Amino acid sequence: MLETSELRRTFTSDAVDYEVLKGIDLRIERGESVAIVGKSGSGKSTLMHLLACLDRPTSGRISFEGRDYLSLSEKERDRLRNEKFGFVFQQFFLNGRDTVYENVVLPMRIRGAADKDLRPKAMSALESVGLGDKHAKRAKDLSGGEKQRVCIARALVGGPDVIFADEPTGNLDSKTSRTIEDLMLTLNRDKGITVVIVTHDEDLAAKCGRTINLKDGMVVDELGEDDEAGEAGEQI
């Protein structure tokens, strides 16, 4: 579903070029849960930004369901992110003064959805993260774990094919982290939503179906435990 070939990204700062991604070839299939791991500076966030159509590669190709990002206009890129992708960030980016409900419906408002269509979608997204009863609360009054669950609901509300999560547990204690991890992987399993998680949390990475390990802008090894197990199972 998501495919890259020879993907490179170079940043220029003070006339010095930094090649952050040095030719990445990847395929992520529908329904996978993928962790992108690596040390800071390894290029994992950059890779996610490119996959999520937030950034443009210096060279190489990326496509989503066969649609090459390079061929998309800015409007089409905006629409792709809005309709097909959901986002979860380490720092939540919730509007604290707004209600949980308003925060969750933001992608739908951006899409231009009618008011009457918002409520059922928002409520069902909130139910999925177990916050159905908190829709009227101010976002700033929630705990960290609850905030991240609101973010997941926000990522979920538009019915995305892929949820991109950038260090979703980075700001949470370990117990809350586990809840969030489980929640995301449940969504992956039950709703068939592809999940791409950038993390340096090994526990989280281990729970994902596949781990893409980046080092200095290159994929060093891909561990696909589930896949290997599956293949092994078939072989027997």
Partner 1 sequence: MKLWDLARTANRNLFRAKLRTFLTVMAIFVGAFTLVMTNGVGDGLRDYVEMQVKTFEGERILFVRKKLPAELEEQANSSGPVEYKEATEDGEGNLIDPNSVVVSLEQIEGLKDKRPDVRSITPACRVNPEYISVQGGKKYQVGIGMLSEGVEQKLEAGKMFDGSDQIILPIHLARAYDENVGNLVGKTATLAYRVGNDRELRSRDLTIAGVATRGMISNLNAFVDTETAKAIYTEQNGDTPNFNYFNNFTIQLERADSELLESTKERLDKLGFVGLGIADIEKRTYDAIGILQVGLNVFALVALLAASFGIINTLVIAVMERTKEIGLQKALGMGRFKVFLLFSIESVLIGFWGAMLGIVSAIGIGSAANAFLSATYLESFEGFSLFAFRPLALGAVLLLVCAIAFVAGVMPAIRASRLDPIEALRYE
Which residues contact partner 1 (rule: CB under 8 A)? 49, 52, 54-55, 74-75, 78-83, 87, 89, 91, 93, 95, 97-98, 106-107, 109-112
DSSP classification of residue 168: T
Task: Give the shortest CB-178-to-partner 1 separation in angstroms.
Answer: 26
Cβ 37 vs Cβ 63: under 8 Å: no
Report the SS3 class of residue 91: coil
We find the least distance from the C-beta atom of residue 174 to partner 1, in angstroms, to be: 25
Q: How far is the CB of 183 from partner 1 (least distance, A)?
A: 20
Strands in the chain per DSSP E: 2-13, 16-28, 33-38, 59-64, 67-68, 85-89, 162-166, 194-198, 210-215, 218-223
CB 154 within 8 A of CB 187: no
Could you tell me the two tokens for 163? 């949820």
- Tell the burial category of 10 from Cβ atoms under 10 Å away from its Cβ (0-12, 13-18, 19+): middle
Contact between residue 5 and residue 61 where contact means Cβ atoms under 8 Å apart: yes
> In the bound complex, what is the minimum distance in angstroms from residue 9's beta carbon to partner 1?
11
CB-based burial, 156-193: b 16+ in 10 Å, e otherwise: bbbebbbbbbbbbbebbeeebbbbbbebbbebbeeeeb
Shortest Å distance, C-beta 158 to partner 1: 9
Residue 196's region, left for phi above 0, alpha for psi from -120 to 50, else beta, is: beta
Closest to partner 1 by CB, 90 vs 211, is 90
Report the residue number, 55 or 227, with the smaller CB distance to partner 1: 55
Measured from the CB atom, is 96 or 130 closer to partner 1?
Answer: 96
CB of 212 to partner 1, least distance (A): 20
Nearer to partner 1, 161 or 210 (CB): 161
Enter the tokens of residue 206.
């281990």
Q: Which is nearer to partner 1, 110 or 206 (CB)?
A: 110
Please, which residue, 74 or 221, has the CB nearer to partner 1? 74
